[in-house]
Amino acid sequence: MDDAPIPPGTLVIYHGSHADCHGLHIAMPCLCGNCGTLQTLSGETRYTLQDPSGLTDGLSHVRRASITPHTRGEQ
């Protein structure tokens, strides 16, 4: 399922509208009030993206459609 919910802590690739943030991040559910309300009303989950290095805060309120779970390759 391409739009299946992403478990907290999943490594994902961001490919949304902020091109300077494209790349690998760790996805966590966005816990802000707006996204909580959105989830209650529509069932849509938004995400907060954390830099895997932990050096930057990354993006919040990210749509599911803007991220794809990162598969660890086929090596």
Among positions 5-44, residues that touch Zn ion (CB under 5 A) are 30, 32, 35
Q: How far apart are CA 13 and CA 68, in angstroms?
A: 5
With CB under 5 A, what is the number of residues at the site for Zn ion? Answer: 5
Judged by CB, which is closer to Zn ion: 10, or 39?
A: 39
CB-CB neighbours of 30 under 10 Å = 20
- CB 32 → Zn ion: shortest distance, Å? 4
Which lies closer to Zn ion via its Cβ, residue 44 or residue 51?
A: 44
CB atoms within 10 A of CB 59: 21
Minimum distance of Zn ion from residue 37's CB (angstroms): 10
The secondary structure element, H or E, covering residue 6 is none
Q: Are the beta carbons of 8 and 31 closer than 8 angstroms?
A: no
Sites for Zn ion among residues 37-66 (CB under 5 A): 60-61
